[in-house]
């Protein structure tokens, strides 16, 4: 990522795309949260890496439901990034697919005070442009149902 780019990069911490994490960060363009999956172990793997941590096998990104619950969270009041209004919620979301499948993400679309552990949430995507790529950052919002 270029050092002179902050003016063009709003809001979130944005990733550098690699062959291993590209599906994760771009799947939101089609509305899918794509998580690396090991077909041998039948295991979802986060964060995206080179291979399965159990068998070393090749991972295949597959869509998950995008539904989960808040595992833990913190409300940030420090304006670390000038373009992001505080307070905002940074959470670890436990995805429904697997008991240890957790993703760090912002919780949006609600008052920070309304977030609690166990809150049912679902994924949304925020589009950001990084160099020549469109990156779709997963964020979560409370589930209505």
Q: Tell me: cis bond preceding 47? Omega within 30 of 0 counts.
A: yes
The residues in 1-40 that bind Zn ion, with binding defined as CB under 5 A, are: 38, 40
In the complex, minimum distance from the CB of residue 9 to Zn ion, in angstroms, rounded to a whole number: 35
**Number of residue whose CB is nearest Zn ion:** 52
Task: Tell which one of 41, 75, 92, 101 touches Zn ion (CB under 5 A).
Answer: 41
In the complex, minimum distance from the CB of residue 54 to Zn ion, in angstroms, rounded to a whole number: 4
Contact yes or no for 137/123 (Cβ under 8 A) = no
Residues 6+ apart with CB under 8 A from 20: 36, 48, 49, 50, 59
Cα R_g (the chain), whole angstroms: 16
Binding residues for Zn ion, rule CB under 5 A, total 7
Phi-psi label, residue 11: left if phi above 0, alpha if psi -120 to 50, beta otherwise: left
Question: Closest CB to Zn ion among 55 and 117?
Answer: 55
Give the position of tokens 């925020």.
126
Task: Tell which one of 30, 54, 129, 131 touches Zn ion (CB under 5 A).
Answer: 54
Does 59 interact with Zn ion (rule: CB under 5 A)?
no
Question: Closest CB to Zn ion among 52 and 137?
Answer: 52
- 85, with CB counted inside 10 A (0-12, 13-18, 19+), is exposed
Task: Tell which one of 35, 52, 89, 107 touches Zn ion (CB under 5 A).
Answer: 52
The footprint of Zn ion (CB under 5 A) covers 38, 40-41, 52, 54-55, 57
């Amino acid at each position: 990522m270029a050092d002179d780019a902050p003016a063009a990069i709003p809001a979130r911490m944005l990733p550098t795309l690699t062959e291993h994490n590209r599906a994760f960060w771009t799947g939101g363009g089609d509305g899918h949260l794509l998580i690396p999956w090991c077909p041998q172990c039948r295991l979802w793997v986060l964060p995206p890496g080179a291979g399965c941590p159990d068998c070393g096998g090749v991972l295949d990104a597959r869509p998950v439901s995008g539904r989960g619950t808040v595992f833990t969270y913190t409300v940030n009041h420090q304006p670390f990034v000038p373009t992001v209004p505080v307070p905002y919620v940074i959470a670890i979301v436990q995805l429904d697919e697997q008991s240890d499948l957790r993703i760090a993400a912002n919780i949006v679309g609600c008052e920070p005070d309304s977030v609690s552990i166990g809150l049912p949430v679902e994924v949304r995507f925020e589009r950001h442009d990084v160099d020549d790529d469109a990156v779709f950052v997963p964020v979560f919002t409370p589930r209505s149902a």
